[in-house]
A and B are shown apart, each in its own frame.
Chain A
Amino acid sequence: MKKDVMVSIICIATSIFLYYTLGWIDDERARSFPRVVIIIMGILSFMLLLQTMAVKKTKEKGKPLPWKRFLIMFVLVLVYLYFMETIGFYTSAFLFIVVVTLLFGQSGFSPVRILSRTVISAVFTGVIFVLFNVLLKVQTPTGLFF
């Protein structure tokens, strides 16, 4: 339940911060709707805090967050997005799938595995290309390569 105390405190803090930033909006009428929403959000967060403190300790459920995997993937996607426009949508997507499946897959890096991942990735990128660019004629960022 400790987690919920943290959550409600973060929500209350966010509400207070957002309420403060309302002052940056010029028109009173444009401010009125967000103001009501923020006030209600603050009240709800406070009620969550009260509820959390009132409920007697129960067993903490759920597995812990796998931080390492989450952070690696988070950064990988950022890198992918960063290069998407410079090296082209399909090249970056292809590389992204190869890297992710190799990094997170269970067995290590054998030549066979590298080859199979490359083939899977190539097939998938090919399917997307045909579906979107050929059949539906959508523009994609091409960048340096493709």
Chain B
Amino acid sequence: MEEFIQYLPNAFTWINLLTLVLGVIGGLILGATPGLSPTMAVALLVPFTFHMSSTTGLTLLGAVYTATVAGGAISAILINIPGAPANIATLLDGHPMAKQGKSQTALYLCFISSLVGGLFGMLLMILFTPPLAKIALKFGASELFWVAIFGITVMAGLSSGSIFKGLIGGMFGLLISTIGYSPILGTPRFVWHDVLTGGVAIIPALIGLFAIPQVFSLLEPVDERIKPVEFQPEKGILFKTIKENLKMVKALTIGSITGSIIGVIPGAGGQVAGLISYDQVRKMSPDPDSFGKGNPQGVVAAESANNAMVGPSLIPLLTLSVPGSPTAAVLLGGLLIHGLFPGPDLFTTHAEVTYTFIVTLVLAQVAMCVFGLILSRFSYSVMRVPNVEMAAIVTVLAVYGTYSVQNCYEDVIVMYALGTLMYLGRQVGFSPAPVVLGIILGVIAEDNYLKGRMIAETDVGIFNYFFTGSINIIIISLCVISVVYSVYGEIRSYRRTSLKGEE
């Protein structure tokens, strides 16, 4: 906390504040645009930040990350399509409110609850990240290896649908990470074409996996019947809404706490946070039947939860490089290209950049609320950008972004190939997030496995090195819990589908 205050003034430079404001406005617009997911927006931005200083670059990424999560609510409320998966719970009551002509109130509620939840989450992150990073300082090769394995076990949670497909995707990602020269030994592996000599870099993979499938699906024939509800601006409801909102203490508290807890669990993400908190608030409400018909409490619960998730989802990311959500995984890519490796170093050697980043994330929450309230009036026009134009522009940005990082044409080919493959994979139920996580964690897992093996061979032996020691055992048990939990979930959903089949 002292460090946080010490580095507080650093964030207030002109260039940072300008980047912050632009990032927040851009993020709100991107989030509100159906068809552009926040994860993809951040992925496309990562190469762009490569040419900035690390502080400015990370400010931009943090601002966009924060704002897209809130911006997604705009399209959820106005056209009943969640701008991001995190906003699924928002539309349950947000859209009915809009249909009743209360779209402005709904939008205001969204941004105010997002601010409350978001600040709560940030506070937790500031309090808990540095001490956890200190524990991570004690980690050697074996512990880091197990942390990577733990990250791999949560991959299943990142995918929607079949757990097996999530894990197969993750394994595929791990294999992609081994392409090129082996890190410690220098042996070439899976180099089937000259393009692959240098291995698959993280940026082409991120952009390819998240942006290209989106491009192809933007071109799919759309349902023309989707029409946004009319937006009638009302005067003087801002203060009324703020007052009303702050009275919903129960929904705000439940939302913020559930969101924060779910944020820390790697792989769960905002979608789950919003839905669980919505469900809790509905169950505890004296009038559960009014939910789904335009109850403002529902909007408050969902939005405070999905923004509360942002801060805590960075705790495992910054300390252990295990991202809490798909977008956090992309953000990790951004940290890596600025030479910032998650772990204790972030809070010692790179303390200045890291704390400035954290301060700007807090400022971004405030800016998101302020600009969200201002922009909600104009948000209507964002929904009208035609998909085809968007597809063409996203393609050019993807190509350009990939190329500009290393001025490398081969990267563009790799990006496009992975992206096309991912689009086809998505048609049969695979999702990009586990693959990306595999690519990131594969390097950590293999590096530490080989290092650990070398240490173990001269020391206590492989079994003793990897399987004894309290930290090792704690992380191994986390892995086991995570696997058991996934298997349990799969069995449950299997029972449900087979019951349906019998009916």
B409, A85: Cβ atoms under 8 Å? Answer: yes
- Which A residues touch B404, using CB under 8 A? 132, 138, 140
Are A128 and B450 closer than 8 Å at their CB atoms?
no
Q: A27-B185, A48-B164 are in contact. Are A124 and B498 (CB under 8 A)?
A: no
Within 8 A of A (CB), among B412-429: 412-413, 416, 420, 423, 427-429
- Cβ-neighbour of B219 out of A73, A125, A128 (below 8 A): A73
Decide yes or no: A96 and B216 within 8 Å by CB, A56-B498, A85-B409, A136-B52 being known contacts. Answer: no
Is B77 located at the chain interface by the 8 A CB criterion? no
Interface flags for A73-102 (1: CB within 8 Å of B; 0: not) read 110011011001100010001001100110
> Does B399 lie within 8 Å of A84, measured CB to CB?
yes
Partner of B171, one of A4, A25, A40, A66: A40
A29 touches B185 (CB 8 A): yes
Main secondary structure of the interface of B (DSSP, over half): helix
Cα(A137)–Cα(B219), bound, Å: 33
Q: 14 A-B contacts, Cβ less than 8 Å apart?
A: A4-B428, A7-B428, A27-B185, A33-B178, A41-B175, A44-B168, A45-B168, A58-B497, A63-B220, A80-B399, A105-B386, A128-B397, A136-B48, A137-B51
**What total count of A-B pairs have CB within 8 Å?**
158
How would residues 28 to 48 of chain A score, 1 for a CB under 8 Å from any chain B CB and 0 otherwise? 011111100110110011011
B429 proximity list for chain A (CB < 8 A)? 4, 7
Please determine whether B171 and A44 come into contact, CB atoms closer than 8 angstroms. yes
Cα A138 to Cα B446 with chains together (Å): 34
**Per-residue interface assignment for chain B, residues 214 to 232, with 1 indicating a CB less than 8 Å from any chain A CB and 0 otherwise:** 0110011100000000000
Question: How far is A71 from B473 in the complex, measured between Cα atoms in Å?
Answer: 51
Question: Taking CB as reference atom, which chain B residue is nearest A124?
Answer: B393
**In the bound complex, what is the Cα–Cα distance between A7 and B425 (angstroms)?**
9
- Contact of A96 with B165 at beta-carbon distance under 8 Å, contacts A33-B446, A55-B497, A65-B427 already known: no
- On whether the beta carbons of B393 and A69 are closer than 8 Å, the reply is no
A48–B168 contact, CB under 8 A?
Answer: yes
Bound state CA distance, A57 and B389, in angstroms? 40
Which of A18, A33, A48, A57 has a CB less than 8 Å from the CB of B165? A48
Bound-state Cα–Cα, A73 to B217, Å: 11
Classify chain B's interface size.
35 or more
A120 in the interface (beta carbon within 8 A): yes
Contact of B389 with A73 in the complex, beta carbons under 8 Å = no
Whether A110 is near chain B, meaning CB under 8 Å from some CB there, is no
A residues adjacent to B (C-beta < 8 A): 3-4, 6-7, 11, 18, 21, 25-27, 29-34, 37-38, 40-41, 44-45, 47-48, 51, 54-58, 62-63, 65-66, 69-70, 73-74, 77-78, 80-81, 84-85, 89, 93, 96-97, 100-101, 104-105, 120-121, 124-125, 128, 131-132, 136-141
* Chain A residues, Cβ within 8 Å of B389: 97, 101, 120
Closest 9 CB pairs of A and B: A56-B501, A41-B171, A30-B187, A100-B392, A30-B182, A48-B164, A136-B51, A97-B392, A27-B187
| Minimal beta-carbon separation of B52 from chain A (angstroms) | 7
Query: A-contacting residues of B (Cβ < 8 Å)?
Result: 48, 51-52, 162, 164-165, 167-168, 171-172, 174-175, 178, 182, 185, 187-190, 215-216, 219-221, 386, 388-389, 391-393, 395-397, 399-400, 403-404, 407, 409, 412-413, 416, 420, 423, 427-429, 442, 445-446, 449-450, 453, 494, 497-498, 500-502
Per the bound structure, the CA–CA distance linking A122 and B391 in Å amounts to 16
CB neighbours of B497 from chain A (8 A): 55-56, 58
Which one of B174, B190, B215, B501 contacts A57 once the chains associate, using CB atoms below 8 Å?
Answer: B501
What 8 new A-B contacts, CB under 8 Å, besides A30-B187, A70-B423?
Answer: A29-B450, A30-B185, A32-B449, A34-B190, A44-B167, A69-B221, A70-B216, A93-B399
Would A97 and B396 count as touching, CB distance under 8 A? Answer: yes
Chain B residues, Cβ within 8 Å of A26: 187
Query: A66 and B221: CB pair below 8 A?
Result: yes
Given the complex of chains A and B, what is the CA–CA distance between A93 and B412 in angstroms? 14
- Interface contact B427-A96, CB-CB below 8 Å: no
- Measured in the bound complex, the distance between the Cα atoms of B395 and A70 in whole Å is 14
